[in-house]
Amino acid sequence: MAKSEVKKGKKAGAKKKAPKSGRRRAVVVGGVRTPFLKAFTGFTKMDTIALGDAATRALLERFEVPRQEIDAIVWGGVILPGTAPNVAREIALDLGLPHSAEGMTVTRACASGLQAVTLAAAAIERGEADVVIAGGSDSTSNAELKVPQKVVHTFAPLALGGKGSPMDYLAALSQLMPITDILPRAPKIAERTTGEVMGEAAERMARRHGVTREEQDDFAFRSHQRAAEAIGSGRFDQEVTPVETPDGRWIHTDGLVRGDTSVDKLAKLRPVFAKDGTVTAGNASPLTDGAAAVLLMSEDKARALGYTPLAAFRSWAYVGVDPADQLLMGPALAMPKALARAGMRLSDADLVDMHEAFAAQVLSVLRMLSSRAFARERLGTDEAVGDVDPASLNVHGGSVAIGHPFGATGARMVTTMANELSVADKETALLGICAAGGLGAGAVLERV
């Protein structure tokens, strides 16, 4: 999409909302993501920085961003490369951006991408920057195997001290028994404090909220259907860029979406986290490689540069709950909080987009939002937050179908919703994301 097209992209009839007088507003100009691929498939040879490069490069090209105007990159990631954890800066250097385009990398588990975007918006609204690229990426394929600290602590003094004789190494080696203590450990998505694997947490939530296997499979099926439709209709072309891999292959579309799946097929899968469980590979988000980038500007700057902004944040909220209780319930608190900050009710939101870590988790959160008892006890309000209309929830599918590169998901959701507001001629979208550690995020996007 050329810049000129973007400029005249505004539809007739769309209501233009004037920003509150005197307040600097950050706007979303647009966003681009790489296709999302299952881990250890097409993107195996690309680490999180390379994926971030791909998304950001495409963003720069599609929106013809004047390089000198870029103040900063804010990037989100969960599995950060040990030797270069500030992915944002690496992207800027890889792409040859002006050295003045500074960079920071943030992590807030699965809400990292949204965190990067809202940080960028905050910096713009505080007047710290005018043009910021924000997004996130993760490459589960390139998660580093962890050498146990015991090995590090035994050998580092010898290796770094420089004076170790072969006998010293042999003596050190003899301390490293049993052998299982020193084998590299596979990374595991388990809570550090409770040791609970996230799927187990989803399983428990499903049980506690009476979410059945059938409901989860139905939800997963719908996610795939909608995502497949968005791909088939070309709707995702607006925001997905083809990526060339190091071996010269071009990846054009998401690799995980199965338009041909059926409820029957999903029902045949075996539960993964408990013998009599309900969470399967089919109704959970898979390990994924990918990146997403969002272009944010101050509204004045955007207009001065000739862009037509898509959306702005009316509010956002981050919350924490006890990870030992209901690890993934965060959005049930964060979304109402964001709504309250925006001065809105759930029914005012035209679209709702929730990160689908697990179908069980989304459905549990929806139960909580619908519960008056929950609202009274946990939110201190007299009425339930409300029922989310399935027709307006995750209109183009979600993480179960599309995949979930941890750091990229938030930026993907912001991009899809910002586009959807103008494509579908809607006013507001509510976002919700759950994250490890008992965290939750919520945000309200409004059309500009």
Partner 1 sequence: MNDFLLELGQNPQARRLIKSLGLPIPVPQVLRRSHSPYEERPLAERAVVVAGAGELGSVLGDTLSRAGANPHVVGDEAALEPWRDPGEAFGRPATLHAPGEPPEGLRADALVFDATGIGRPEELRTLYDFFHPWIGTLEKSGRVVVLGRPAGRRSRQAAAAASAALEGFTRSVAKEVGRQGATGNVVYVEPGAEERLPAVLRFLLSDRSAYVTTQPFFVTAAAKAADRRPLTRPLEGRVALVTGAARGIGAATAELMAQEGAHVVVLDRPADDGPASKVARAIGGSVLLVDVSDPEAPERIVSDLTERFGGVDVVVHNAGVTRDKTLRRMKPEHWDQAVDINLASVVRITDALLEGPLRAGGRIVMLSSIAGLAGNVGQTNYAASKSGIVGLVENLAPKTAERGITVNAVAPGFIETRLTAAMPVVIREAARRMSALGQGGLPEDVGQVITFLSTPGADGITGQVVRVCGGALVGK
364 near partner 1, rule: CB under 8 A: yes
To partner 1, the closest distance from the beta carbon of 194 in angstroms equals: 11
Which span sits near partner 1 by CB under 8 A: 219-227, 238-246, 287-295, 366-374?
Answer: 366-374
What residues are labeled active site? 110, 404, 434
Which segment (22-30, 269-277, 317-325, 353-361) binds partner 1 by CB under 8 A? 317-325
Residue 329 binds partner 1 (CB under 8 A):
yes
Cα–Cα distance for residue pair 434/209, rounded to 1 Å: 17
CB of 121 or CB of 329, closer to partner 1: 329
Of the two residues 12 and 373, which places its CB atom closer to partner 1 in the complex? 373
Please give the residues from 201 up to 220 whose contact with partner 1 meets the rule CB under 8 A: 205, 208-210
How far apart (Å, rounded) are the C-alpha atoms in residues 203 and 442?
23
Q: Applying CB under 8 A, does 437 fall inside the site for partner 1?
A: no
The CB-of-287 to partner 1 minimum distance in angstroms stands at: 27
Using CB under 8 A, which residues numbered 98 to 127 contact partner 1?
Answer: none
3-state secondary structure the chain: CCHHHHHCCCCCCCCCCCCCCCCCCEEEEEEEECCCEECCCCCCCCCHHHHHHHHHHHHHHHCCCCHHHCCEEEEECCCCCCCCCCHHHHHHHHCCCCCCCEEEEECECECHHHHHHHHHHHHHHCCCCCEEEEEEEEEHHHCCCECCHHHHHHHHHHHHHCCCCHHHHHHHHHCCCCHHHCCCECCCCECCCCCCEHHHHHHHHHHHCCCCHHHHHHHHHHHHHHHHHHHHCCHHHHCECCEECCCCCEECCCCCCCCCCCHHHHHHCCCCCCCCCCCCHHHECCEEEEEEEEEEEEHHHHHHCCCCCCEEEEEEEEEECCCCCCCCCHHHHHHHHHHHHCCCCHHHCCEEEECCCEHHHHHHHHHHHHCHHHHHHHHCCCCCCCCCCHHHECECECHHHHCECCCCHHHHHHHHHHHHHHHCCCCEEEEEEEECCCEEEEEEEEEC
Only segment of 237-245, 320-328, 399-407, 420-428 that touches partner 1 (CB under 8 A) = 320-328
* Binding-residue pattern over the window 148 to 187 for partner 1, x denoting contact by CB under 8 A: ----------------------------------------
Closest CA to 75 of 51, 97, 98: 51
325 binds partner 1 (CB under 8 A): yes
| Count of residues near partner 1 by CB under 8 A | 19
Q: Does 256 bind partner 1 (CB under 8 A)?
A: no
Could you say which of 17, 268, 345, 376 contacts partner 1 (CB under 8 A)?
376
Give 244 or 322: the residue with its C-beta nearer to partner 1: 322
Residue 253 or 371 having the CB closest to partner 1: 371
Q: Of 142 and 326, which CB lies nearer to partner 1 in the complex structure?
A: 326
Q: How many whole angstroms separate alpha carbon 35 and alpha carbon 240?
A: 6
Q: Which two tokens stand for residue 403?
A: 């995949």
Residue 377 near partner 1 by CB under 8 A = yes
Asked if residue 326 binds partner 1 (CB under 8 A), the reply is yes
Rounded CA Rg of the chain? 22
Q: Would you say how long the chain is, in residues?
A: 448
Q: Smallest distance from the beta carbon of 329 to partner 1, in angstroms? A: 7
Task: Give the nearest distance from C-beta 208 to partner 1 in angstroms.
Answer: 4
**Minimum distance, C-beta of residue 12 to partner 1, in the bound complex (Å):** 47
Rounded distance between C-alpha atoms, residue 248 and residue 430, angstroms: 39
Q: Which stretch binds partner 1 (CB under 8 A): 1-9, 283-291, 375-383, 399-407?
A: 375-383
Of 91 and 201, CB closest to partner 1:
201
Q: 61 or 325, CB closer to partner 1?
A: 325
Kindly state the smallest distance separating residue 399's Cβ from partner 1, in Å: 22
Q: Is 378 in the site for partner 1 (CB under 8 A)?
A: yes
Tell the smallest beta-carbon distance from residue 349 to partner 1 (Å). 23
User: Quick one: tokens of 214?
Assistant: 């059938």
Determine the interface stretch with partner 1 among 49-57, 89-97, 121-129, 365-373 (rule: CB under 8 A): 365-373
Binding site for partner 1 (CB under 8 A): 205, 208-210, 322, 324-326, 329, 364, 367-368, 371-374, 376-378
